Amino acid sequence: MLLAAIAFVQAAFAEASGPTSRPDPHTVLVLGDSLSAGYGMAAGEAWPALLEARLRERDPRFRVVNASISGETTAGGLARIDAALARHRPVIVVIALGANDALRGLPLSLARENLAAIARRARKAGAAVLVIGMEMPPNFGLDFTAAFRAMFAEVASAEGAELLPFLLEPIARDRANFLDDNLHPTPQTQPVIVDHVWTVLGPMIEALPAE
């Protein structure tokens, strides 16, 4: 019994203080939905894959773990974040969720709580956080679209995260940039999207301690 207790304490200490408990300084985790998963295109064409290629030009040790799933909601992201943090130990977590909550008519108050909880867990694990927002079309109503837009800024401000207000801002006004469903961007737009993400993520990368 005593030996089992000692082994438990040693394991707990190793987990808390050993190298596996620290973030990997070259891992970025993207937790998103179909807009980040690369719906309608090869995995290597999606903006997170292009982000990894850009980072590896700086340092071959960088990797981007794209944990995005088509149809994912904030609740789904919250259910997965702990396992993703433990497995990948990212130094930066990019949260690009919320659109499916709105499309499914789920309460924005719940989406806000879920996003905040994801950000808190990431920061507790030692990762910096980037919250990426989305926009809803005007037919959802002016009050709803305004509240939805504000949700991302509120979470970022409250949780000490960086903010990119609208993932698709550079391409949103041109119908030719989207697939036939008028929801998902084409493969040709992905370099533009990664350039847009880089405007906020780039300085976060620059601020990482040298390894």
> Going by C-beta distance under 8 Å and a sequence separation of 6 or more, which residues neighbour residue 71?
33, 34, 100
Contact 77, 29 (CB under 8 A): no
What's the token pair of residue 198? 């880089």
Question: Catalytic pick from 36, 88, 101, 184?
Answer: 184
pLDDT surpassing 90 at residue 179: yes
Contact 127, 84 (CB under 8 A): no
Domain residue spans of the chain: 23-206
Question: Catalytic pick from 24, 26, 33, 34?
Answer: 34
Q: Mind listing the pLDDT tens digit for each residue in 96-139?
A: 999 999 999 999 999 999 999 999 999 999 999 999 999 998 89
Q: What is the mean pLDDT of the chain?
A: 91
CATH topology of domain 23-206: Rossmann fold (3.40.50)
Identify whether 143 is a catalytic site residue: no
Provide the pLDDT confidence category of residue 19 given band limits of 50, 70 and 90: very low
Strand ranges for 59-189 from DSSP E: 63-66, 90-96, 128-132, 162-164
Verdict on whether the full-model pTM lies above 0.75 = yes
What pLDDT is attached to residue 74? 98
Question: Catalytic pick from 143, 174, 180, 181?
Answer: 181
Identify whether 88 is a catalytic site residue: no
Identify whether 26 is a catalytic site residue: no
